[in-house]
Chains A and B, each alone.
Chain A
């Protein structure tokens, strides 16, 4: 009998380690021969810890399982959810990037290979560099970190650059609230990121890679380090990748708690051991990146999607999606929701379907007020705009940004003036300090919102003006997009900005 208990952080946060221990003890007490596998999460966080039991005729899911449930689980007295693949939230997904996440033992390379792993890398080894880059370009894959820049175009620039050393840098500084896809894949299927980075190395001629991983993710750091060690020992990484005679190796670098280091140029400075201050562009990191060398900087999900693109072909991937948003989007349904988690689907699904149908509305049962799409720098989208299809251009047209595809749901108790103030305050704390609109503007933004809160209506045009300055004048997305949550809150929820004044009158 095989029993799967996730070792994903979210599952652990809900007691998975204790459940695993209890299962081990119970199996021993009953004299049962149980193989306990710590898998990744299937992404249905409201069901975590989600335990799966395979008695030889397929995996059956149970959840959420507590320590107290374990005897009943063994007795067969616990309600079974059936196969994970049949749970509606799961059945409605298209899993390409996350196909193996939660299915396999994250640190079992043979299990990884048995589920399609390394097929993309093997194909890439037999291709020329321009062919690899063309494949990624044709797939339509765009940067999943938020900016949505075509991955293949970035790779082409690095490929064509002439330098004695090039680098692949994976941006795993997933600091945006409401996002956890990077963490999930690194904890649940780390070899896919390693494979993606290795393919990127072959494509652009880079032999060294770094994963810049935030210190707030200690579990992901442990899993990634162990996966890299295994990959190296098994010849997936190193001087002779899968016997090809080609070289690529990589390592994890741990961040140090600075949100702005998720911005690529700031990340590169941090990686070099400097203050994480933003660099002006140009020069592009693709030409002068890490240590001044041509560097691919891609998000975890972008790189982790590369193996499936190579395995199944560019066209297979591009056949999913809408408009210029091709392939799948790894939505992270977060915040005040009844059913939160990771939902991978073709681009084009509407917010309404995601929030009201899939997520089942709010956890508190109160009406939904707004969804912040794309993290702390994303807009608050009111219910009236829930018909927006989720795609890069589609959301842009609604005044928002898709970002890393995190959706944080708020119920009607949310005070949008407070949320706007928080956005400015966060920007003030996390600003790298290089450019004035961000460094000073965010502080003034907090003060101005406080004036509005005290009933000073004259401060509203001032805030609007300040936001314009920050948008136009900031060097990077931190100062440049902080106005998005602020202005969307002000525009769509004016009542939250007027109550104090009206009360005074």
Chain B
């Protein structure tokens, strides 16, 4: 088991003829992901790395039975791609593209939720269930199949932590980056609930950062709903107020979103917060016994 994606997931790549889309379609297929179709308007009938390209997601779904999508289109077309995927019957869309207008993401959020669909991102590295499927841009080789679930707002920091888990002999059930934007399709609580329900997952690593109050809400959720151990790291203890730290969502505004507030909330909920990412495997091992 794993969450959201596995060896049965049939993937369509939106923006497959672009530079990133084409490169990562090949990488995902090489990892063993069932990449069954690509979509680029006006390029239907072509093939990219042997993968058939369609003009619309609807045509791709009809011809190939794709049920998940990965979006690599430029920011100004990405919200359109999200809505198109939902309308075509895609159950899970992973939006790698960054720079989407917040108002569009917010609209997509409610559109997907109202229909019982899910998207991850935007502005995220994607999701991987090691040994089964990779929908995103993370380096596949640093992962190992196992029982640790990982959810993070970051990209490269996630790789850093995955690598240290793997080096410590802790394989992963599913690792997902939920994105650095202020509004995202899938949040910590969604991922935590899914990891709790997944029989293969034995413990969870949650990586947060400054901005918003998702970590505080997740802390409350963990206390109420999780039986599996959770360990955490929060980036941005030294970040100044009122300055956006790279991610659109990483900003301490109106006194809200400090690392301190998140660390306090998690600690109060019984979730240990590491001072250094390198401490995470040890903290988790202690709790897994």
User: A and B: partners?
Assistant: no
Q: Point out residues on A near B: beta carbons under 8 Å.
A: none
